[in-house]
Amino acid sequence: MTNTNTSVVIVTGASRGLGAAVARWLAKAQAALTLISRSENKLKDVAEEVRSLGGKSLVFTADISNQDACRSAVELTLDRFGRIDALVNNAGIIRPISSIARSEPDSWRYNIEVNLMGPFYMIQAAISSLRSQNGRIVNVSSGAANRVLENASAYCAAKAALNHFTRVLAAEEPELTAVTVRPGVVDTDMQATIRNEGLNAMSDQQLAYYRQLKERGELEPPEIPGRSIAWLALHVPTEFSGQFLDYDDPRIAEPALKAFGKN
């Protein structure tokens, strides 16, 4: 069982990029973390970082598109830590990078399974424990929920659905605080995938835009939005429930910086 002063947080997609950054910030606050990803070796590396920063960690290798795996992750968290205070649904994929006309239906479906069904499975499995703790759910969304991104139709559709799903969740579950957050354009493997695979699907202008973001240093380091997401997982105000928030909203970014510091 975990000390009542320690927050217990599940973070999906925790082996790299934004999820790993969130985990490191939470570790700095001495949180107890269940780290979920498909990549076991990278997940173990993050777990070591968590422990070195003062947090506790439980590693669970899984694909969150699998409902049984999500249930098992929650059960193991409860067995190890005794409760769940917050859930960060960060795991996500961009593929297929393709026009609607040329997209493979199986790839399109899998995108929805990871980006939308995965958060649903995790929330449904954890909801009883979260209710008892007046818990917090942070669903990592994207500006693509509101913007038209050609050749990313599955990703856009999944993130738009995730936003509205979260609004419904907030209305149905007044004992919880549930939000979605836009993390900005982050320097992660997802951006690398767009630059590499966009060559076969995107217009020259669209591909040049993504490549210039990298070349000009305009991509946000994962640690910056990660800090905001970690703060939301620990401290999101109840009045924010149901909202789609920007990571750099001063109501989030400023208290996050104050709570965690710069490094």
The pTM of the full predicted model, rounded to 2 decimals, is 0.94
Lowest mean pLDDT among 153-167, 200-214, 220-234: 200-214
Q: What is the pLDDT of residues 60-113, one digit of tens each?
A: 999 999 999 999 999 999 999 999 999 999 999 999 999 999 999 999 999 999
From the list 7, 103, 141, 228, the catalytic residue is: 141
Q: Pairing relation of β-strands 56-61 and 86-89?
A: unpaired
Buried b / exposed e across 97-111, counting CB within 10 Å, b at 16+? bbeeeebeeeebebb
Which residue has better confidence, 172 or 217? 172
Of 110, 121, 155, 247, the catalytic one is: 155
pLDDT reading at 133 higher than 80: yes
pLDDT one-digit tens code per residue, 147-187: 999 999 999 999 999 999 999 999 999 999 999 999 998 88
Residue 155 annotated as catalytic: yes
Distance CA 121, CA 137 (A): 13
**Whether the predicted pLDDT of 203 surpasses 90:** no
Catalytic residue among 159, 228, 241, 247: 159
pLDDT in the model for residue 195: 87
**CATH classification for the domain delimited by 8-187+221-260, as one of 3.40.50.720, 3.90.870.10, 3.30.930.10, 1.10.10.10:** 3.40.50.720
Residue 28 among the catalytic residues? no
User: What is the DSSP-derived secondary structure letter of residue 66?
Assistant: -
- pLDDT attached to residue 1: 66
**Average pLDDT across the chain, whole number:** 95
42 catalytic per annotation: no
Assess contact for 37 and 23: CB atoms under 8 A: no
CA atoms within 13 A on the CB side of 151: 15
**Helix residue ranges per DSSP H, the chain:** 17-28, 40-52, 67-81, 105-112, 118-132, 153-172, 189-197, 204-215, 223-235, 250-260
pLDDT at site 193: 85
Summarize pLDDT for 3-40 with one digit per residue, the tens: 777 999 999 999 999 999 999 999 999 999 999 999 89
pLDDT greater at residue 207 or residue 52: 52
Average pLDDT (208-225) is 89
241: left (phi over 0), alpha (psi -120 to 50) or beta: beta
pLDDT at 192: 84
